[in-house]
């Protein structure tokens, strides 16, 4: 085959050499506009896994790269006068020039033709090529030429960064955070050869502009950074080698995804590789890794499917299928890390204690969890656990096993929860006339015995026509109150768990069948009239509600207050006002469901007016020493709906009105929603509200392991973790998870004690693997 790689960065060179090695008959040319030793940038980092992959494909280059590597294990964080260090993080760094020189030399040794100082304008310059690799980087001319075919989606991110170098030697991957009168800057620093370190300085656009850096040339920018980071530089200077760049030396990162990776130009097949196809932010340093792995995968497909011109279409399709999945995974992690650095100044640097700030930094991509950190640096993690536990009020034994964050107590007003695990509200549709029965007693009782610090009742309706279905629970009469009291008393007298009441009104989502008979479908008969913020039905099939009148508002408010008063008599420990999921109060908060033109619609202030009126009314009767939380849909997942930024505005309003916690859910407001599900998918909302608004939060949604809960709580992304479905699957989720992570200090109900040790021993045996013989 005749192969031309346009662009001699890591992608083009590595693919060239791998293919030549596979079959020396191929005629392969790599064309690069720069001189052989002329390149931008400083060092790049790899993980051990990338090296294993490279070793398997070309031992020679892998060996040369390894011998040029600088390996380091430590991460050091400087912030607010503190210098903190952790170990076990295993990175290797190499100079970009050195890497390219190794690849260039190997190409030459294998017979790949290298052409330098030639700028390619078009792929059509190579009509005899069977295959053209567009490895021409982020600004790929070749990709841009076939924009319609490749469908590039390039988003310029808001932060500014400058890629500098320093001759000062750093013996750890160092992050230095510095506050100026205008805001925060951070430096990402790592050594990549004996005497040189990469030194990337980053800040937000407004801080960048406030310092006049938009008008500063490179020399002034470097002087500014040297001054700002003088402590960590300790007399060292900064250097640039980006002189070929036009305009500002400060760049914005461009996040690139392509809809399609290959195209036939009439003569040759053109395929994207490396930064031309995708980018991953330097916050997790994976751009070069992705470029090299693209090269490996394309070579693998030629090996598997055949390396003759007729096989090219099948090979390119297989390459794209495999790589687009892997790349999306890395881009996801890179996005979390990138976003962390974009908000670090406004969200974490001022608010979190240095210890917790460091934990948040280390887990920023959400790929490294609590237990990963324990594997990397047990001493650091255990000290952090002790710090966290002491802050939560535990008398810490410096020599004893530390208590993981999810098992620390949580205090809010007069309420103390023994741990941070909450059973989330879950409608069971199993009541008659709103009255709890034996099913509910067993349902709640068994979960309370199962170790959660707090169990929430399901959405409890404030009047008969506030119900979602005829099977929903209520608290509008004394019979219901008495049945609730029996359950709450059982929980209080038999377990250490606390019991929460979630009060709600179904609004336009009411008068429907129980879940297993057709969710959101109107009743076959005996439907009751619905009310909502506006007269908009939920589905095409649903009843159209009446837009609430002031008289309706007064009635519903009175119902909420009466239910809250009954809740006090029953003895609930905490009240949650359900303002999520498209039910009545949520219908006011979302512009999708609130089309009112009076003082109850049209702006954040107006949309929140009625929900806040209810909140204030129940806060006025609810005892001062008992907390109230508010459940919000923090994202409508639909064009024109609320986003986390709107949720932050509402959270602030509820906070100012006296709310203690926001329970951060999302969705179910519109049938057009397109939620992006995934592990911990709603935790970012909790993180945002907690750290930007300064209100305690509950994280919920696809949290299913102790490791998840510990990571969330430890990083300060939430104060409590609520789990719904895991509690349906396992009544004793908390006790079981404690045993799984080896925490033996969590008390089991005395009646069940004989099972505890056996359960722990069986787990330990299973973890140790099969016995020999
Ligand atoms: C600040 C910063 C820090 C980074 N840190 C890391 C890190 O630590 N680890 C990591 O893995 N990655 C890092 N990266 C990313 C990494 O540099 C890229 O992802 C990687 O170089 C991609 O390789 P590539 O071969 O696809 O593209 P490039 O390395 O961009 O190579 C493209 C080549 O094509 C040439 N070219 C372009 N157009 C033409 C043309 N028309 N004719 C001829 N030649 C052309 C260019 O001169 C260039 O040499 C970082 C990036 C930045 C901006
Ligand atoms: C069967 C079921 C019923 C639910 N009912 C309610 C409810 O009454 N009130 C509420 O706010 N959320 C309700 N939810 C949502 C859960 O509280 C929770 O937010 C959601 O299931 C995500 O958590 P998970 O991933 O741990 O299941 C319900 C969820 C399930 C599975």
pLDDT at 334: 86
pLDDT in tens, 739-763: 999 999 899 999 999 999 999 999 9
Query: Which one of 319, 348, 359, 583 is the catalytic residue?
Result: 583
Q: What ligand is nearest to the CA atom of residue 504?
A: 2
| CA-closest residue to ligand 2 atom 30 | 426
Note the residue count of the chain. Answer: 773
Give residue 276's pLDDT band: very low, low, confident or very high (50, 70, 90). Answer: very high
Beta-carbon contacts of 120 under 8 Å, excluding residues fewer than 6 positions away, are: 6, 31, 33, 136, 141, 142
The arithmetic mean of pLDDT across residues 516-530, rounded, is: 95
Report the C-alpha gap between 161 and 157 in whole angstroms.
11
Contact yes or no for 475/563 (Cβ under 8 A):
yes
> Which contiguous run of DSSP H or E holds residue 155?
strand 152-166
Angstrom CA distances, 619 to 266, 376, 577, 655, stand at 71, 46, 10, 12
H helix and E strand count, the chain:
25, 29
CA contacts within 13 A on the Cβ side of 37: 0
Contact yes or no for 453/407 (Cβ under 8 A):
no
| CA-closest residue to ligand 1 atom 4 | 282
| CA-closest residue to ligand 2 atom 1 | 426
Give residue 41's pLDDT band: very low, low, confident or very high (50, 70, 90). Answer: low
> Which contiguous run of DSSP H or E holds residue 412?
strand 410-412
pLDDT in tens, 387-425: 999 999 999 999 989 999 999 999 999 999 999 999 999
Question: Could you tell me the distance, in angstroms and rounded to a whole number, from the CA of residue 238 to the centre of ligand 2?
Answer: 53
Q: Which atom of ligand 2 is nearest to the CA of 424?
A: 17
pLDDT at 243: 54
Question: Could you tell me the distance, in angstroms and rounded to a whole number, from the CA of residue 11 to the centre of ligand 1?
Answer: 8
| CA-closest residue to ligand 1 atom 37 | 136
pLDDT in tens, 78-120: 999 999 999 999 888 888 889 999 999 999 999 999 999 999 9
pLDDT at 321: 97
Q: What ligand is nearest to the CA atom of residue 704?
A: 2
| CA-closest residue to ligand 1 atom 11 | 288
Question: Could you tell me the distance, in angstroms and rounded to a whole number, from the CA of residue 641 to the centre of ligand 2?
Answer: 21
User: CB burial class (10 A; 0-12, 13-18, 19+) of residue 723?
Assistant: buried
Angstrom CA distances, 294 to 136, 291, 675, stand at 14, 5, 30
The structure's pTM equals: 0.92
| CA-closest residue to ligand 2 atom 31 | 725
Q: Burial letters for 393-415: b for 16+ Cβ neighbours within 10 Å, e otherwise?
A: eeebeeeeebbbbbbbebebeeb
Pocket of ligand 1 (CB under 6 A): 6-12, 31-34, 41, 44-45, 119-120, 135-137, 141, 163, 200, 274-276, 282, 285-289, 291
pLDDT at 40: 61
The verdict on whether 14 is a catalytic residue reads: no
Q: Which atom of ligand 1 is nearest to the CA of 286?
A: 11
C-alpha torsion 671→674→680→683, nearest 10: -80
Which of 129-138, 231-240, 583-592 has the least mean pLDDT? 231-240
Q: What ligand is nearest to the CA atom of residue 284?
A: 1
| CA-closest residue to ligand 1 atom 15 | 287
Angstrom CA distances, 363 to 340, 346, 406, 629, 658, stand at 10, 18, 16, 27, 32
Pocket of ligand 2 (CB under 6 A): 424-427, 458-459, 502, 578, 580, 631, 665, 700-703, 723-726
Question: Could you tell me the distance, in angstroms and rounded to a whole number, from the CA of residue 724 to the centre of ligand 2?
Answer: 5
| CA-closest residue to ligand 1 atom 27 | 137
pLDDT at 247: 57
DSSP code at position 215: T
pLDDT at 531: 98
CA contacts within 13 A on the Cβ side of 142: 31
Give residue 718's pLDDT band: very low, low, confident or very high (50, 70, 90). Answer: very high
The arithmetic mean of pLDDT across residues 232-254, rounded, is: 80
Beta strand extents in 624-695 (DSSP E only): 628-633, 661-665
Report the C-alpha gap between 19 and 294 in whole angstroms.
13
Q: What ligand is nearest to the CA atom of residue 94?
A: 1
Q: Which atom of ligand 1 is nearest to the CA of 287?
A: 19
pLDDT at 332: 83
Question: Could you tell me the distance, in angstroms and rounded to a whole number, from the CA of residue 409 to the centre of ligand 1?
Answer: 49
The arithmetic mean of pLDDT across residues 529-548, rounded, is: 97
The arithmetic mean of pLDDT across residues 486-495, rounded, is: 98
Question: Could you tell me the distance, in angstroms and rounded to a whole number, from the CA of residue 272 to the centre of ligand 1?
Answer: 13
Question: Could you tell me the distance, in angstroms and rounded to a whole number, from the CA of residue 76 to the centre of ligand 1?
Answer: 27
The arithmetic mean of pLDDT across residues 571-583, rounded, is: 98
pLDDT in tens, 615-648: 999 999 999 999 999 999 999 999 999 999 999 9
Give residue 770's pLDDT band: very low, low, confident or very high (50, 70, 90). Answer: confident
Question: Could you tell me the distance, in angstroms and rounded to a whole number, from the CA of residue 304 to the centre of ligand 1?
Answer: 28
**Structural Rg of the chain based on CA atoms:** 30
Q: What ligand is nearest to the CA atom of residue 96?
A: 1
To test the pocket of ligand 2, the residue of 425, 462, 635, 669 to mutate (highest count of ligand atoms within 8 Å of its CB) is 425
| CA-closest residue to ligand 2 atom 2 | 426
3-state class of 749 per DSSP?
coil
Question: Could you tell me the distance, in angstroms and rounded to a whole number, from the CA of residue 145 to the centre of ligand 1?
Answer: 19
pLDDT in tens, 653-701: 999 999 999 999 999 999 999 998 888 999 999 999 999 999 999 999 9
Q: What is the mean pLDDT of the chain?
A: 95
């Amino acid at each position: 085959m005749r192969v031309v790689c346009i662009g001699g960065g890591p992608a083009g060179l590595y693919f060239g050499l791998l293919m030549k090695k596979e079959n020396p008959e191929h005629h392969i040319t790599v064309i690069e506009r720069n001189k052989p030793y002329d390149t931008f940038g400083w060092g790049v980092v790899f993980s051990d896994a990338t090296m294993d992959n490279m070793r398997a494909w070309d031992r020679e280059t892998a060996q040369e790269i390894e011998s040029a590597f600088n390996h380091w294990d430590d991460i050091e964080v400087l912030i607010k006068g503190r210098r903190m260090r952790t170990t076990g993080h295993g990175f290797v760094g190499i100079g970009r020039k050195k890497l390219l020189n190794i690849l260039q030399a190997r190409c030459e040794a294998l017979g790949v033709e290298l052409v330098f100082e030639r700028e390619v304008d078009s792929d059509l310059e190579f009509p005899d090529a069977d295959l053209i690799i567009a490895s021409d980087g982020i600004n790929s001319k070749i990709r841009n030429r076939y924009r319609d075919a490749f469908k590039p989606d390039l988003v310029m991110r808001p932060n500014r960064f400058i890629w500098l170098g320093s001759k000062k030697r750093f013996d750890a991957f160092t992050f230095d955070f510095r506050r100026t009168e205008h805001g925060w800057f951070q430096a990402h620093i790592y050594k990549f050869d004996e005497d040189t370190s990469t030194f990337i300085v980053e800040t937000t656009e407004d801080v960048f502009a406030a310092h006049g850096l938009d008008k500063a040339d490179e020399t002034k920018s470097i002087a500014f950074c040297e001054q700002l980071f003088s402590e960590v530089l300790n007399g060292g200077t900064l250097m640039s080698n980006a002189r070929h760049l036009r305009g500002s030396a400060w760049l914005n990162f461009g996040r690139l995804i392509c809809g399609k990776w290959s195209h036939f130009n009439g003569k040759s097949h053109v395929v994207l590789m490396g930064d031309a196809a995708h980018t991953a932010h330097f916050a997790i340093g994976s751009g070069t890794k992705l470029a090299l792995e693209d090269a490996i995968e394309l070579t693998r497909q030629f090996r598997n499917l055949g390396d003759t011109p007729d096989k090219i279409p099948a090979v390119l399709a297989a390459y794209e299928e495999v790589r687009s999945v892997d790349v999306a995974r890395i881009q996801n992690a890179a996005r979390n890390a990138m976003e962390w650095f974009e908000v670090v100044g406004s969200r974490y640097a001022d608010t979190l204690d240095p210890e917790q700030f460091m934990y948040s930094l280390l887990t920023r991509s959400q790929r490294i969890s609590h237990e990963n950190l324990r594997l990397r640096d047990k001493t650091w993690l255990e000290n952090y656990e002790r710090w966290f536990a002491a802050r939560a009020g535990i008398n810490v034994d410096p020599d004893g096993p530390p208590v993981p964050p999810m098992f620390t107590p949580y205090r809010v007003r007069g309420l103390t929860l023994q741990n941070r695990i909450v059973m989330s509200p879950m409608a069971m549709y199993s009541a008659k006339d709103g009255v709890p029965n034996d099913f509910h007693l067993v349902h709640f009782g068994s979960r309370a015995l199962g170790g959660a610090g707090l169990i929430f009742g399901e959405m409890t309706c404030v009047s008969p026509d506030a119900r979602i279905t005829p099977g929903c629970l209520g608290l509008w009469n004394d019979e219901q109150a008495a049945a609730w009291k029996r359950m709450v008393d059982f929980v209080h007298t038999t377990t250490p768990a606390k019991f929460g009441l979630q009060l709600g009104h179904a609004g336009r989502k009411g008068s429907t069948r129980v879940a297993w008979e057709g969710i959101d479908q109107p009743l076959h008969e005996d439907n009751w009239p619905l009310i909502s913020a506006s007269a908009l039905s939920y589905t095409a099939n649903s009843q159209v509600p009446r837009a609430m009148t002031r008289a309706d508002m007064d009635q519903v408010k009175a119902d909420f207050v009466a239910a809250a008063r009954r809740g006090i008599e029953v003895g609930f420990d905490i009240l949650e006002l359900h303002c999520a999921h498209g039910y009545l109060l949520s219908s006011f908060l979302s512009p999708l469901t609130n089309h009112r033109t009076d003082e109850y619609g049209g702006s954040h202030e107006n949309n929140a007016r009625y929900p806040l009126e209810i909140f204030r009314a129940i806060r006025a009767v609810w005892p001062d020493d008992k907390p109230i939380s508010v459940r919000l849909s923090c994202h409508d997942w639909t064009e024109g709906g609320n986003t986390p930024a709107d949720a932050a505005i509402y959270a602030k309003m509820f906070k100012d009105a006296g709310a203690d916690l926001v329970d951060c859910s999302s969705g179910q407001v519109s049938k057009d929603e397109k939620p992006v599900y995934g592990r911990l998918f709603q935790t970012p909302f909790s993180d945002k509200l907690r750290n930007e608004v300064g209100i305690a939060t509950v994280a919920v949604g696809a949290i299913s392991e102790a490791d998840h809960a510990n990571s969330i709580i430890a990083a300060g992304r939430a104060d409590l973790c609520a789990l719904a479905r895991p509690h349906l699957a396992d009544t004793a989720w908390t006790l079981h998870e404690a045993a799984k992570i080896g925490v033996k200090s969590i008390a089991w109900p005395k009646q069940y004690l004989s099972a505890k040790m056996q359960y722990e021993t069986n787990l330990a045996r299973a973890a140790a693997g099969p016995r020999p013989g």
